[in-house]
Amino acid sequence: MGFPKDFVWGAAAASYQIEGGATDDGKGLSVWDTMSRWPGKVWEGNTGDVACDHYHRYEEDVRLMSEIGLHAYRFSISWPRVLPEGAGAVNEPGLEYYDRMLDALLESGIQPWATLFHWDYPYALYCRGGWLNRDSADWFADYAAVIVDRLSDRVTHWMTQNEPQVYLALGHQTGEHAPGLKLPFSDVLLATHHSLMAHGKAVQAIRARAKTTPVVGFVSAVGVKIPASESADDIEAARECMFAVTEKHVFQEAWFSDPINRGVYPDDGLALFGADMPPIRDGDMEIISQPLDFYALNIYQGQNYAATPEGGCELVPEADGRPLTMMNWRVSPEALYWGPRFLWDRYHVPTAITENGMANCDWVHLDGRVHDPQRIDFLKRYLREYGRAIDDGVEALGYFVWSILDNFEWAFGYSKRFGIIYVDFGTGERILKDSAFWYRAVIESNGAALSEP
Ligand code: GCO
């Protein structure tokens, strides 16, 4: 299996999920700070107030990353930590925190991959209409400029937004995620349009201001449609389904990937959404479709699709008792072949897997260790499939396990453990899980260890 020589092996996390320090040193509130306090929104009323306390323990965490041998660490910046009101005055201590964290990474030879926005939207901007306000695209670009001016001497790899599908569909349509809104679909489409424009304007800001040549990507939550067999008919059916827009929500790949990579909204979606579509002004689509250096894929699972006799595609009924993770997500390794493959075939933009992993039933065993054989098996199966995609010509920059640490899993609070490092949320103690040691061997061998049974 040929992982390229310069393939980047990393792990990922996001600000609200690990930092804590929710009101420290002048940080403003995010919509997750506020919504996590609403009764019944998050499991057992958990909040990110302390989380992994990474804000105070980042040095220890960087040491652990270095023990695992990570080449790179994907993190996100808390927008309200840097701009407490979302726009305007800069909170210098917030920037100093990211300075210190980056310096620690670089001293350990770990390359930072920075995500500008991973869902902790400034509450003050939400009060000004948030993503419904057309100015939100400029607010984001201005924030991007502050970050790039300060950090781009040390950061080269940038991602604008993480999975806007999720905060738009779950945060603005179903209300499960912050800001907890249940808006009419026309408003969801309007917010989505502004969020896409924010992405494009941030790419422009990064390219215009970066002090070192930037490598820029957009992070998509990819629901993969896996061909039920490798017959040409099933492959083409799954491909068609993967990019079809057939339902009235925005959690559909092509609704983002076509505007971003091709500068157009897909025709089937436009026809289906009809009068709910917001007005699109001249120049908007050009802003959205800034050329990218990579398309970043968060892939956890896929479903099998087969060709129908009429030439369409259909979901293959799922087997009872199929393997599921603690999120009840399918163990479906081929998603890491077909997801990158279909996206590469369609857009020819290099891929990176910026999240992949599983919630496991982890605890500290009697011997004081955390044994997580399911996670090792899961990651091995998925990584073999990404290796196969690379062998078949998909260009690939790197792979990031989600997550470096157990953390605040949004509406599920601390009830789900995704880390390769165990965190005791009472004491803050960290323990490397077996999967962390296994991953070290994978990294050291540049993937050769994946062939071991
Ligand atoms: C996402 C987010 C992460 C999650 C992870 C597990 O993909 O939903 O980027 O923040 O924690 O994916 O659900």
Using the mean position of ligand 1's atoms as its centre, give its distance from the Cα of residue 298 in Å. 8
Cα–Cα distances in angstroms (integers) from residue 217 to residues 4, 101, 115, 306, 353, in the given order: 19, 22, 9, 31, 11
Residue 453: its pLDDT value, please? 87
- C-alpha angle 68/73/75, rounded to 5°? 140
Cα 23 to Cα 134: distance, rounded to the nearest angstrom = 28
- Ligand 1 pocket (Cβ < 6 Å) reads 14, 17, 162-163, 166, 221, 298, 355, 402, 409, 418
Distance 120 CA to ligand 1 centre (A): 13
- Does the model's pTM come out above 0.75? yes
For 169, which DSSP code? I
Q: Which atom of ligand 1 is nearest to 327's Cα?
A: 13
Asked if residue 1 belongs to a domain, the reply is: no
- The answer to the question of residue 434 being in a domain is yes
Closest ligand 1 atom to residue 409 Cα is: 11
- Structural domain includes residue 3: no
Q: Which of 355, 407, 420, when mutated, tests ligand 1's pocket best, judged by the most ligand atoms within 8 Å of its CB?
A: 355
**Owning domain of residue 434:** 8-451
pLDDT at 198: 99
Residue 320 sits in a domain of what CATH number? 3.20.20.80
Q: Is residue 2 one of the residues assigned to a domain?
A: no
Interval between CA 437 and ligand 1 midpoint (Å): 23
Distance from the alpha carbon of residue 31 to the mean position of ligand 1, in angstroms: 17
Q: What does the CA dihedral 335, 336, 337, 342 come to, rounded to 10 degrees?
A: 70
Atom of ligand 1 nearest to the CA of 410: 11
The CA 153 to ligand 1 mean position distance, Å, reads 28
Note whether residue 47 is domain-resident.
yes
Return the ∠ at Cα 350 (arms to 347 and 355), rounded to 5°.
Answer: 110
Instruction: Give me the pLDDT at residue 2, please.
Output: 82
Q: How many CB atoms lie within 10 A of CB 124?
A: 18
Residue with tokens 């929500």: 249
- Nearest residue (CA) to ligand 1, atom 4: 409
Number of domains in the chain: 1
- Ligand 1 pocket test: which of 170, 410, 423 has the largest number of ligand atoms within 8 Å of its C-beta? 410
**Helix extents (H) in 302-353:** 335-347
Q: What are phi and psi of 67, to 5 degrees?
A: -65, -35
91 in any annotated domain: yes
> Dihedral of CA 161/358/427/369: which sign?
negative
Regions of the chain short of the pLDDT cut 70: 1
Give the model confidence (pLDDT) of 141-162 as tens digits.
999 999 999 999 999 999 999 9
- Within-domain flag for 360: yes
Residue 229: both structure tokens together: 């067999």
Residues classed as catalytic: 163, 355
Model confidence over 287-341: pLDDT tens digits?
Answer: 999 999 999 999 999 999 999 999 999 999 999 999 999 999 999 999 999 999 9
Q: Are 168 and 186 in contact (CB under 8 A)?
A: no
pLDDT value of residue 1: 58
Cα-to-centroid distance, 275 and ligand 1 (Å): 32
- For ligand 1, the distance from its centroid to the CA atom of residue 273, given in whole angstroms, is 27
